[in-house]
Amino acid sequence: MTQLELARSGEVSPIMQAVSTAENVAVETVREQIALGYAVIPANKGHKSLVPQGVGRIFKTKINANLGRSGSHSSIKEELEKLQFAIDAGAEFVMDLSVGKDLMEMRQAMIAASTAPLGTVPIYEALDRLDGDASKLDEEILLSVIKDQAEQGVDFMTLHAGLMNSHVEMAMKRRLGIVSRGGAIMAKWMKEKSRENPLFTRWDDIMAICRQYDVTVSLGDGLRPGCLADASDEAQFAELDSLGELVKRCRADGVQVMVEGPGHVPFDQIQMNMEREQEVCDKAPFYVLGPIVTDVAPGYDHITSSIGATAAAYYGASLLCYVTPSEHLTLPNGDDVRKGVAAHRIAAHAGDVARGLPGARDWDDEMADARGQFKWKRQFELAIDGDEAKRRYMEGKDPDAEDDDYCSMCGKDFCAMRNSQQLQDM
């Protein structure tokens, strides 16, 4: 039985218990949220090294780091290093988006090494098995990849099954068309073959595999907007309606499901987007990429994304896919991964504080206390990236200063907190 089926049957699994403890949420609440489909715990029965993580509005907002090589770039060793970077930096979820040779081998190594739930986009491997010849793609190859990956222990899979032929026309009216890798491949195949989405036509078979291994379906938004101009358009919301239907089918089949979302969205449209997904998809956990709130900042898209992601986390998202500073330009290296994770942990936590998640602000309060008491070591321990904070602090530190009750930003005489404390003592 899947976690969804267990929860519905009234049973509390060890996995639910672990999430309950980690989140400090009553186990009966966890079970109930899973049973309703408002929360998911992506946990393939075969992923032995997994530390389970809950996704849903009753839990802390989580973040996902995309990893994996493209084309000729990067080796298994490098990807394993990036995986460890991402987990050490605090990513709760990871996705392996590799394309190229030896994908099974690389994924096996990543799953074995990963304590985080690991996700994939099976169409990438399907295309690789066909040496990149998308015209040879068919239902059978997709099913065999999904089956193989499920057997390997993949915890969640992005399936662009809601993208219908009728939506593609809508997307062609856009400024930037289709910007999802999987979505574009699928749409092109559908038009070339004049056939419907192969994931959709074989959905029942996919459900059987996912149910067997308890793979959580992550319904891909192949028509997510790729620029502000395309946000919240007909194509995006037509596909969302399809995803809403697929949510029902997953739940009917006992398969855990979450829904992926945009993308590039102006700041003022984020609330509406979050509320619409929650309504159309009956509160299935929303897993968003960004949203990026402006198109003009390549090189800084971890920031454009963390801005949108904070609003998303506040208004309805449960899982934030990070974006790194290399987005739109090249594949991220280890340092980019670190920056992307930090930026999105900020977004997740700021969202949790803003929506009043019980206990979320305690972390900020502890930091404020450490700051007020000039406990620098404690500040570095508490910081989202303590190494980075310490490195900067030490750069400015006067080696002759014996006491530490100020920093070099304002200097001792002008330190507001020193003056404020003297005032307090008066």
Question: In terms of CB distance, is 77 or 193 closer to a second copy?
Answer: 193
Does 374 participate in binding a second copy (rule CB under 8 A)? no
Select the span of 36-44, 235-243, 280-288, 304-312 touching a second copy (CB under 8 A).
Answer: 304-312
Give the whole-angstrom CA distance, residue 97 versus residue 189.
20
Does 347 participate in binding a second copy (rule CB under 8 A)? yes
| Least spacing, CB of residue 408 vs a second copy, in Å | 5
Does 102 participate in binding a second copy (rule CB under 8 A)? no
- Among positions 353, 374, 375, 378, the unique one binding a second copy when judged by CB under 8 A: 353
Does 288 participate in binding a second copy (rule CB under 8 A)? no
- Show contacts with a second copy in window 319-338 (CB under 8 A): 325-331
Does 423 participate in binding a second copy (rule CB under 8 A)? yes
Specify the amino acid at residue 304: T
Give the whole-angstrom CA distance, residue 387 versus residue 381.
9
For the chain, give the secondary structure using H, E and C. Answer: CCHHHHHHCCCCCHHHHHHHHHHCCCHHHHHHHHHHCCEECCCCCCCCCCCCCCEECCCCCEEEEEECCCCCCCCHHHHHHHHHHHHHHCCCEEEECCCCCCHHHHHHHHHHHCCCCEEECHHHHHHHHCCCCHHHCCHHHHHHHHHHHHHHCCCEEEECCCCCHHHHHHHHCCCCCCCCHHHHHHHHHHHHHCCCCHHHHCHHHHHHHHHHHCCEEEECCCCCCCCHHHCCCHHHHHHHHHHHHHHHHHHHCCCCEEEEECCECCHHHHHHHHHHHHHHCCCCCEEEECCECCCCCCCCHHHHHHHHHHHHHHHCCCEEECCCCCCCCCCCCHHHHHHHHHHHHHHHHHHHHHCCCCCCCHHHHHHHHHHHCCCHHHHHHHCCCHHHHHHHHHHHCCCCCCCCCCCCCCCCCCCHHHHHHHHHHC
Does 403 participate in binding a second copy (rule CB under 8 A)? no
The structure tokens listed for 28 are 């009966």
- Show contacts with a second copy in window 192-231 (CB under 8 A): 192, 226-230
Question: In terms of CB distance, is 47 or 349 closer to a second copy?
Answer: 349
Does 178 participate in binding a second copy (rule CB under 8 A)? yes
Question: In terms of CB distance, is 285 or 308 closer to a second copy?
Answer: 308
Select the span of 5-13, 43-51, 244-252, 381-389 touching a second copy (CB under 8 A).
Answer: 381-389
Does 304 participate in binding a second copy (rule CB under 8 A)? yes
Question: In terms of CB distance, is 129 or 188 closer to a second copy?
Answer: 188
Binding mask 52-91 for a second copy (x = CB under 8 A): ------------------xxxx------------------
- Show contacts with a second copy in window 155-174 (CB under 8 A): 168, 171-172
Question: In terms of CB distance, is 1 or 394 closer to a second copy?
Answer: 394
Size of the site for a second copy (CB under 8 A): 109
Residue 59 main-chain phi, psi, to 5 deg: -100, 170
- Among positions 28, 196, 335, 364, the unique one binding a second copy when judged by CB under 8 A: 364
Other beta carbons within 10 angstroms of residue 358's beta carbon come to: 11
Does 396 participate in binding a second copy (rule CB under 8 A)? yes
Question: In terms of CB distance, is 34 or 223 closer to a second copy?
Answer: 223
- Show contacts with a second copy in window 117-146 (CB under 8 A): 124, 127, 132
Q: Cα–chain-centroid distance for residue 86?
A: 12
Question: In terms of CB distance, is 12 or 354 closer to a second copy?
Answer: 354
Does 176 participate in binding a second copy (rule CB under 8 A)? yes
Question: Cis omega (within 30 of 0) on the bond before 153?
Answer: no
Question: In terms of CB distance, is 221 or 253 closer to a second copy?
Answer: 221
| Least spacing, CB of residue 205 vs a second copy, in Å | 25
Question: In terms of CB distance, is 214 or 336 closer to a second copy?
Answer: 336
| Least spacing, CB of residue 151 vs a second copy, in Å | 24
| Least spacing, CB of residue 339 vs a second copy, in Å | 8
Question: In terms of CB distance, is 20 or 66 closer to a second copy?
Answer: 66
Does 343 participate in binding a second copy (rule CB under 8 A)? yes
Give the whole-angstrom CA distance, residue 148 versus residue 187.
24
